[in-house]
Amino acid sequence: MIRSSACALVLASAGAAFGQSNFIDFESVPNSLPGVGGPDIRVPGDSNWYNPPNSATAGSVANGVGLGGSRGLIVGNNGSGNDGVIDNLRTPRLTGVAGESVAPVNAANNTFQWSFWFRTVPTTAPAGNYRFRVESYGPDRTTFLGFQNDGAGNLTASAFGVDAGANFVSTTIASSLQWGQWYRVTGSLTLNDGAANDTMTYGIYDTASQLVGSGVTASWEEGARQLGYNGGQIFGIDQLQFHSRGGFAGDHAYVDDISYSVVPTPAAGAVLGLGGITALRRRRR
């Protein structure tokens, strides 16, 4: 795991003052991500990835697939047919979690924020379905952002939240994105004490740092409280999950410069610009 001097300085400051952070640019990450095929047995602070071979989602690292031709993450579908919502590709876990300050979580920080760069591997709309998703994750997922083919050849991004009545609500975050182009994707999830009051804010930026899509949803908290979703648990968040479900077998997305952090609410947004800093660093070389 290698950090640029600028990014390392910002993250070290964020980690000391606000909470635990992680930044991954893949330059020293091995081609085969470490992982296991059974239950996720990692503990908080575990620096290993979770990359189970029984999942439909495949993850690997290679040269030339990241920003500016650097080293990056490849996320695809291995055609295994195991298309469930569990056993997908997960990042290393942070030492602390973001969540409610009351039992059973008792979290010191209530905001989980993240940023990464992403582009589709297909440069035009594929013949089959396209599915690439990112979720805020703890013992299970609690947010959802999906990139997909809208059926007319357009690349769109939609988020799903759960409203106060425990109904799933879809929100369009961006439409008519470009196949094969890089975008910076950001998220900030605030988990407030009590029911029906969490917020998830998304932003999508192009390589010129122009905002091309944004939106706000709720978390999946009410699904857990009212319907027993996620086992009825309210839990802390300390990692990201990526997966390619319901699409063609093969590579779906390239990902680079992942940053994620747990912070208190007043500091929300402090880490979301790191992907932009790194992109500028690489373009100036």
User: What is residue 266's predicted lDDT score, i.e. its pLDDT?
Assistant: 59
User: Could you give the percent of the chain with pLDDT greater than 70?
Assistant: 84
More confident position, 159 or 53: 159
User: What is residue 36's predicted lDDT score, i.e. its pLDDT?
Assistant: 67
Domain range list for the chain = 5-283
Region 76-103 average pLDDT = 84
Q: CA separation (Å) from 66 to 15, 85, 205, 252?
A: 25, 26, 17, 14
User: What is residue 227's predicted lDDT score, i.e. its pLDDT?
Assistant: 86
pLDDT 10s digits, 225-265: 888 887 888 899 999 999 987 778 899 999 999 999 999 87
Sequence-distant (≥ 6) Cβ neighbours of residue 99 within 8 angstroms: 105, 107, 110, 138, 191, 234, 235, 236, 237
The pair of structure tokens assigned to 83 is 């298309």
Give the CATH fold of the 5-283 domain: Jelly Rolls (2.60.120)
Region 200-223 average pLDDT = 96
CA 73 to CA 70: how far, in whole Å? 10
> Of 122, 164, 110, which is closest to residue 147 (Cα–Cα)?
122
Reduced to 3 states (helix: H, G, I; strand: E, B; else coil), residue 110 is: coil
User: What is residue 82's predicted lDDT score, i.e. its pLDDT?
Assistant: 66
> Where does 245-285 have alpha helices with state H?
274-283
User: What is residue 40's predicted lDDT score, i.e. its pLDDT?
Assistant: 86
DSSP code at position 141: B
The pair of structure tokens assigned to 174 is 């961006």
Sequence-distant (≥ 6) Cβ neighbours of residue 103 within 8 angstroms: none
Average pLDDT taken over every residue of the chain: 84
- Count the neighbouring beta carbons within 10 Å of the beta carbon of residue 169: 12
pLDDT 10s digits, 62-84: 999 999 999 999 999 888 766 55
CA 54 to CA 24: how far, in whole Å? 24
The pair of structure tokens assigned to 35 is 């992982």
Q: Count of alpha carbons within 13 Å of 82, Cβ hemisphere only?
A: 15
- Determine what percent of the chain falls in helix, strand and coil, rounding each to the nearest 5: 15, 35, 50
User: What is residue 114's predicted lDDT score, i.e. its pLDDT?
Assistant: 98
> Of 63, 52, 65, 23, which is closest to residue 255 (Cα–Cα)?
65
Q: How confident is the model at residue 279 (pLDDT cuts 50, 70, 90)?
A: very low
The pair of structure tokens assigned to 139 is 């013992």
CA 146 to CA 161: how far, in whole Å? 12
Q: What is the pTM of this model?
A: 0.87
CA 238 to CA 260: how far, in whole Å? 8
pLDDT 10s digits, 140-177: 889 999 999 988 999 999 999 999 999 999 999 999 89
